[in-house]
Structure 1
Amino acid sequence: MQSETKLTIGLLESYKNVRNQTQHLCDPLEIEDFVVQPVTDVSPLKWHLGHTTWFFETFVLVPNVRGYRLFHPKYPYLFNSYYISAGERWTRANRGQLTRPTVKEVFEYRAYVNEHMEQFLQGELSQEVADVVILGLNHEQQHQELFLYDIKRILGDNPLYPPYIETPKSVKKVEKKSDWLNVDEGIYEVGFEGEAFHFDNEKGRHKVFVHEYQIASGLVTCGEYLEFIKDGGYENHLLWLSEAWDWVNENKISAPRYWEQQDGGEWWHYTLSGFERVNENDPLCHVSYYEADAFAKWKGLRLPTEQEWEIACKMYSPNVLAEANFVEEDHFRPIQTSDFDFFGNVWEWTSSPYVAYPYYSPPEGALGEYNGKFMVNQMVLRGGSFGTPRNHIRATYRNFFHPHLRWMFSGIRLAKHI
């Protein structure tokens, strides 16, 4: 049991670190910020706090701690998200209707579960239980990023443009040359391999054939996208997929999310530091797949497939570099780096639909609902963002969203055939 005891010690430290990071993200907020739900895609911040706590209570404490008492008998109903196997749940669209439990009570819930989890993690765990704890930690890290998406949506639509952080960290200027990275034609392997943590949708390592291609050495910048806007990109139906063109017109889309043009002149945008002029050198953020695809066509280029992205990442940026922009840096925005930016800054749209890899098989039970049930009508993004924890990302990580969404930290990297 010695190895299991060592594993438990590491898990206890990891548990505290992840839960403390969530608290760190809460620290700049006012009590009123925790209760708002402007649209269905956004959850009240207090719901994120309750849901990530519910995960540990439901999947770790209840089945493994004899005599454990729920903090509140109705909380499983309120804080379950989409796990049908775990019981009934309050509807997503109505999460903002609940003034109770209060924010104070939700933090008390977290403290209660933390106390029991920390006590539990001081004992010996089977590998099976440890794996569920590790999944729960990665689950909370995903919600930390969603937490930032949602608070930006909540604050960014407020006409006062209140900042999440008052004073942004200084960023050094970087001279960055745009270039193309070449990948030879051949057969490559994609998908996760090894013993470290990974989500089930990364499994099914398999061979793929790719023709020779090139992928951009950096991300599309705000300045490059401004040229698309100035050239009438949002008015040219030839650039847009049919469904995308309907989306543009029905929603009167004319710029990335949070962008506004002041009196027909300069472009400004809401950032987590408040309302600012658009910096043309910064990586573009908050575009949908529809916009990414139209921009690529305007450039006479294309988006990479997720396989092409992964192959190029492993070839040119196999390790996460120290200067990569993740949530621990507390920039809370995309910044200029001298890196290829395969990791961090913004999630990168690919042209690949979110489907199962060969040999994919979801786990049994409620945890099998984590990824597999969403493999329809969504597109894959790769690489992480400034809201992603550094130890959460890897080259095989597959994020996914519906093609019209853009409140998340999403951007563009281009590719082309040779």
Structure 2
Amino acid sequence: METITNHTITKERFLDVRHQTELICKSLQAEDVSIQPAEFVSPPKWHLAHTTWFFEQFILSEYKADYKVFNDDFAYYFNSYYNNVGKRVMRAERGLMTRPTLQEVLDYRAYVNAQLSEFISNGTSEDISNIIEIGLQHEQQHQELLLYDIKYIFGNQPSFPVLDYKIQLQADNDPQEFLQIKEGVYEIGHKGEGFCFDNELGRHKVYLHDFEVSNQLVTNSEYIEFIAAGGYKDFNHWHAEGWDYVQNNNLEAPLYWHQVDGTWMHYTLNGFVEVDGDLPVTHITFYEAYAFAQWKGMRLPTEFEWEVASHKFSFGQLWEWTNSAYLPYPNYTKVDGALGEYNGKFMVNQMVLRGGSVATSKNHCRPTYRNFFQPDMRWLFSGIRLAR
């Protein structure tokens, strides 16, 4: 995987990222960490172990002299999708593993932390530093996924537990306006110093027509108007595939929403509360984002429009669905071997999201970052920005 980095790899930075993962899980009980209520949800214990395996597999086992693997079976248990490094437990079966225990996984983390800290302290080459940097960025991605998965685990329980790790959306009190972007040729993609993933590279020119984009995300109150107007019952707003998905899954509102005595309530990691109309709507599929835009007589921006306009508005509260399929940029290349599997093989049947969310590590919230999910996914912190 090609990357650009100007981060200094230090033991302190490595341990700080690792500690953040454990901080997210601090208030979880043993009963919380192995459950997998849906195939797309990974148990928290698996995240704790997988992010550790990444460093063991790609750095310690490859480059640390006389390194002894913590447990020979862990590569099979905690590999995710890297076909180049061997067989693995299938994703849907991660929740079947009550063993290894949580304590064994925490011991594994401590062991790898100590080994890699010593390795870093002895100095590393630029190539090895780049792989460690990928590992840190990878762990930060899993910190966000942890919050998605914990919320799904808690949000599908009758007790609606509260997580002792606070993230909170904020209302935008500025008046809504549509920002004008003039037609022209614009450059897209990462340039300059700082880390980026390989899917951000291949900087290239695109031609854009005149367009306008909202300075704000769509709010809960706006989305409630869509629901009240029969938005989920009118096929005219939907892609055919989206309409089939709505019908087959009986969708009537965003994920975690429940109507109680005529009032819309929803689960947040801070508890089960009334929907705040001023906050941006979240936990929606691409299908729902598209249908809402159609209902409003507007559309979703393309990822190129979003990137060009991003300097004009604030972003980072929610990942914003774009109307762009996840495809490689011109001259995109991937490295050989397992790390080449990181992004490239997912460039099919997925849609691009831009901007970051309240669950995203702040160093990932950059204009060129390309997140991607299947259009039916909505357990992520996703939202809508309109264009016209």
Q: What is the TM-score with the length of structure 1 in the denominator?
A: 0.89
Q: CA deviation at 1:345?
A: 1.1
Distance 1:204 1:12, change over 3 A: same
1:271 to 252, 262, 268: 268
- Rounded Cα–Cα distance in structure 1 between residues aligned with 2:374 and 2:10: 34
Matched length: 383
Instruction: Quote the residue 2:280 is aligned against.
Output: 283
Distance 1:10 1:67, change over 3 A: closer
Instruction: Quote the residue 1:220 is aligned against.
Output: 218
Q: Indicate if the aligned counterparts of 1:78 and 1:89 stay in contact, CA closer than 8 A.
A: yes
Distance 1:105 1:169, change over 3 A: closer
Where do residues 123-272 of structure 1 align in structure 2 (5 Å cutoff)? 123-165=122-164, 175-263=173-261, 265-272=262-269
Instruction: Quote the residue 1:19 is aligned against.
Output: 18
Instruction: Quote the residue 2:357 is aligned against.
Output: 385
Instruction: Quote the residue 1:306 is aligned against.
Output: 303
CA RMSD of aligned residues (A): 1.5
Instruction: Quote the residue 1:113 is aligned against.
Output: 112
Q: CA deviation at 1:123?
A: 1.3
Q: Which runs of 5+ in 1 are unaligned?
A: 1-6, 317-339
Q: CA deviation at 1:153?
A: 0.3
1:375 to 323, 331, 347: 347
Distance 1:174 1:245, change over 3 A: closer
Q: Indicate if the aligned counterparts of 1:8 and 1:121 stay in contact, CA closer than 8 A.
A: no
SS in 2 for 1:276: strand
Q: Indicate if the aligned counterparts of 1:8 and 1:122 stay in contact, CA closer than 8 A.
A: no
SS in 1 for 2:69: coil
SS in 1 for 2:81: coil
Instruction: Quote the residue 1:31 is aligned against.
Output: 30
Q: CA deviation at 1:195?
A: 3.4
Instruction: Quote the residue 1:401 is aligned against.
Output: 373
Q: What is the TM-score with the length of structure 2 in the denominator?
A: 0.96
Q: Which moved more, 1:173-182 or 1:395-404?
A: 173-182
Q: Which amino acid aligns with 1:397?
A: Y
1:341 to 290, 310, 314: 314
Q: Which amino acid aligns with 1:139?
A: H
Q: Which runs of 5+ in 2 are unaligned?
A: 1-5
- Rounded Cα–Cα distance in structure 1 between residues aligned with 2:147 and 2:330: 33
Q: Deviations over 1:316-356 (max 9, x none)?
A: 2xxxxxxxxxxxxxxxxxxxxxxx332x2110000000000
Instruction: Quote the residue 1:330 is aligned against.
Output: none
Distance 1:302 1:75, change over 3 A: same
Q: Indicate if the aligned counterparts of 1:11 and 1:134 stay in contact, CA closer than 8 A.
A: no
- Rounded Cα–Cα distance in structure 2 between residues aligned with 1:360 and 1:93: 31
SS in 1 for 2:121: coil
Distance 1:50 1:229, change over 3 A: same
Q: CA deviation at 1:11?
A: 2.9
